[in-house]
Amino acid sequence: MKNLQIFLIATVVGICAAMTASASDIKVIANPTVGASSVSADELKGVFLATKSSLSDGSHVEPVLEKDGPVHEAFVKEYLGKTDAALQTYYRSLVFTGKAAMPKTLAADADVVAYVAKTRGAIGYVSAAASTAGVKTLEVK
């Protein structure tokens, strides 16, 4: 009986671990028109909170988000310091006062990569394992 309990707990913990992601599981990508090859964590936060519209090299950037999932949750928590619900509230407060547009939100890694590849200044994030042909990967310092 005790072994069964341990097995169940281990299974639940394992499933939870598999469903979460950390910063090391995330790759920040950008359209090739973005001149920078790296971005600071503060810059990344500013871009995704719509307080910065350009990087330190002067490149104009626009954020692209994933709709949900472990990579999205990890990115929002690690780099923006918010929950998804708080982030959505934040964006809506900007949209309904006219201060910013709702950023593009896409369903999966492949969609984000395809959109970033074809959109000038687009910057997004995908899982580290995702194929990133046609976009550049930015180092987060």
Contacting residue, 9, 13, 92, 141, with another protein by CB under 8 A? 92
Asked if residue 81 binds another protein (CB under 8 A), the reply is yes
Looking at beta carbons only, is 54 or 137 nearer to another protein? 54
Asked if residue 4 binds another protein (CB under 8 A), the reply is no
Q: Which two tokens stand for residue 2?
A: 């005790």
Choices 3-11, 25-33, 75-83, 131-139 (CB under 8 A): range interacting with another protein: 75-83
Q: How far apart are CA 21 and CA 77, in angstroms?
A: 10
Q: Which of 92, 118, 114 has the alpha carbon at shortest distance from 103?
A: 92
| Dihedral of alpha carbons 100, 102, 108, 111, sign | negative
Instruction: Give me the least distance between CB of 129 and another protein, in Å please.
Output: 26
Between the CA atoms of 72, 120, 48 and 43, what dihedral angle is there, to the nearest 10 degrees?
120
Contacting residue, 25, 38, 54, 140, with another protein by CB under 8 A? 54
Q: Which two tokens stand for residue 125?
A: 């994030």
**Contact pattern for another protein over residues 9 through 48, marking x by CB under 8 A:** ---------------------------------x---x--
Ramachandran area for residue 81 (φ above 0: left; ψ -120 to 50: alpha; else beta): left
Q: Which two tokens stand for residue 135?
A: 């976009």
Instruction: Name the residues that contact another protein, by CB under 8 A.
Output: 42, 46, 51-54, 60, 81-83, 85-86, 88-89, 92-93, 95-102, 121
